[in-house]
Chains A and B, each alone.
Chain A
Amino acid sequence: MEKVLMKGNEAIGEAAIRAGCKCFFGYPITPQSELPAYLAKKLPKIEGGVFLQAESEVAAINMVYGAAGAGARVMTSSSSPGISLKQEGISYIAGAELPCVIINIVRGGPGLGDIQPAQSDYFQATKGGGHGDYKLIVLAPSSIQEIADLVMDAFDLADRYRNPVMVMGDGALGQMMEPVAFKEPSAVELPPKDWATTGMKGRKPNLINSLYLDPEKLEKHNLKLQAKYKEIQEKEVRYETKYCEDAELVIVAYGTTARIAETAIRQGRAEGIKVGLIRPITLWPFPTKPFEEVINSVKQFLTIEMNLGQMLEDVKLAVNGRKPVHFYGRTGGMVPTPSEILTQIKKLAGGE
């Protein structure tokens, strides 16, 4: 397939359109602004296409709720402080079991922070940033090609499980340009949206709702959601491993950080250090299988993030005390360099 040179944010927009998304609601925030700008240009040219700049992130996510409830393939995008504002709506969307895709091009925080790449939204994305017992499917691409592929997959996952899916990149992935080839939209059969509010037309009324005043009913609803999350954990885990066959030290990193770590790993290997990589692609469900595969042969793990240790907790849970887990992170929008990571690798490899 033909490759085109595209900016990450624009590739997201193009992938969404190719996946059949006709409907976007958002509010401007750096560093994801090229995405709504791309869709503002393209969507009105598509039949039934909807682009609307909302008055706030709060309104945008609630427009997504309405459109998703009405049966549309719908997307919104934002960056960290904007995603914080969207958490109210995300909780409602999860509660009402509506499918939608949420793009988060993460920047440094807390508060207004800065506009540089960061991974400090990991907790917010994977641990339920809004209230209640709910989960998002969280996908973490590490290249523009993977962004395009995962955005297209995200719509199918959302529709299959009637669940919001977040594709989480960072400022670097949003802003960088790389060649990308868009795949064909999947032909998988998805469940019909017979629950959507489209007007009764001869059937019984449909209701989109997350209110269960009777606690027994709400508990039942939550247990039903948990059963769905369990199914997602069993079927939808994605990860990549590299150089793990003989590795004594395994680095765990995702997104941009994983790419930088890979450079450091190659340099380490060139110097004879047996170092490998586990790269989670789904941050939730978190992949535990690759840890089981290496747990006996590996001597130690090193988690690297652009935050001060968030995924670290999931890595420690996966390792469960069986091997030491070390951490190296930069924060505030600072991006670790390959040589910084190599220094960490050498320190750990030499310390045995």
Chain B
Amino acid sequence: MENRKVIFERPRSMTEARTHYCPGCTHGIIHRLIAETIDELDIQDKVIGIAPVGCSVLAYNYFNFDMQQAAHGRAPAVATGIKRVLPDNIVFSYQGDGDLASIGTAEIVHAAARGENITVIFINNAIYGMTGGQMAPTSLVGQKTQTSPYGRDAKLAGYPIKMCEMLSALNGPAYLARVSVHDVKNINKAKRAIKTAFETQMKNKGFSLVEVLSSCPTNWGMHPIEALKWLEENMIPYYPLGEYKTLEEVK
């Protein structure tokens, strides 16, 4: 064993549980990026995560640190309650698009507006996954879902919400970024953004959010590889990647 060197291993901040996610779903990648970040920042002992309602409701089974499960959309309020009483801990919420951009719009906007010193990882896969593929606030115009079977019609259902752009109008956020996990280059960029978001909180600079464009092969009705291609070709043009607010701007 002495001459063998470990070059890749499970992050300490992940349990050994097998995830329930569908084949090709990118939740697993994003979970790992968060866990690696927490390990690298050495904050496993003081991090408190908030699991949402939706596909990632069971995230607490996969992360190896303290967690609270929140009601649909309320994670930013729960995170606020925790952070206000434990300001030295690191608090983050993990939320999907239905959770954050629909039922919990008030909570996310106001946590951002308060500059609440928390980190939000926002998974945007343009569909409700857990409930079986209904239209999300982020579903693209023309996108077919269970509840937009003829394609999302903007006249009937309005336009998809661009959360990073919307939140960047507020004074509260310290760091806002949109990333994607459809290829290795972008996965690495996503990791850097997630780390910056946590570091922003560690420096007590205020609210940070990383929107991660994610795939849902099952509910999109696609092969996993096809889904990643669809994400790249359809989601990125509507949801441009990049940093929408950085610490330099808020100084």
Contact = CB atoms under 8 A, between A and B. Distances in A.
Interface in B90-113: 106-107, 109-110
A164 B69 CA distance: 17
B79 interface: yes
Contacts of A72: 85
Contacts of B89: 70, 198-199
B81 A201 contact: no
Contact of A197 (B48, B58, B109): B48
B152 interface: no
A62 B64 CA distance: 23
A35 interface: no
B57 A70 contact: no
Contacts of B46: 199-201
B74 A205 contact: no
Contacts of B47: 199
Contact of A62 (B45, B63, B71): B71
Given A52-B84, A69-B82, A199-B48, A59 B74 contact: yes
A65 B66 contact: no
A71 interface: yes
B161 interface: no
A139 to B, nearest CB: 23
A37 interface: no
A209 interface: yes
Contacts of A270: none
Contacts of A52: 80, 84
A52 B86 CA distance: 14
B86 A198 contact: yes
A58 B72 CA distance: 11
B67 A208 contact: yes
A55 interface: yes
Interface residues of B, number: 35
Interface in A32-77: 48, 50, 52, 54-56, 58-60, 62-72, 74
A69 B51 CA distance: 13
B88 to A, nearest CB: 9
B44 interface: yes
Interface string A78-116: 000000000011001000100000000000000000000
B223 to A, nearest CB: 28
A67 B110 contact: no
B86 A70 contact: yes
Interface string B25-47: 00000000000000000001111
A65 B78 contact: yes
A202 B65 CA distance: 10
B247 interface: no
Contacts of B58: 211
B68 A59 contact: no
Contacts, number: 132
Contacts of A25: 81
Interface string A202-217: 1001111111000000
B69 to A, nearest CB: 4
B230 interface: no
Contacts of A304: none
Nearest to A197: B66
A23 interface: yes
A50 B81 CA distance: 9
A200 B66 CA distance: 6
A205 B64 contact: yes
A210 to B, nearest CB: 7
A206 B68 CA distance: 8
Nearest to B68: A208
Interface string A270-302: 000000000000000000000000000000000
B70 interface: yes
Contacts of B78: 62-63, 65-66, 69
A201 B45 contact: yes
B66 A206 contact: yes
Nearest to A69: B68
Q: Most chain-B CB neighbours within 10 Å: which of A92, A202, A208? A: A208
B81 A63 contact: yes
Given A62-B70, A198-B66, 20 more contacts: A55-B109, A60-B77, A62-B74, A65-B74, A65-B78, A66-B80, A66-B81, A66-B82, A70-B48, A70-B85, A70-B89, A74-B81, A199-B65, A200-B44, A200-B45, A200-B65, A200-B66, A207-B67, A207-B68, A209-B60
Nearest 5 CB-CB pairings of A with B: A66-B81, A62-B77, A63-B81, A66-B78, A67-B81
16 contacts: A55-B109, A58-B74, A58-B106, A67-B84, A96-B69, A197-B66, A197-B68, A199-B45, A200-B44, A201-B45, A205-B60, A205-B66, A207-B66, A208-B69, A209-B67, A209-B69
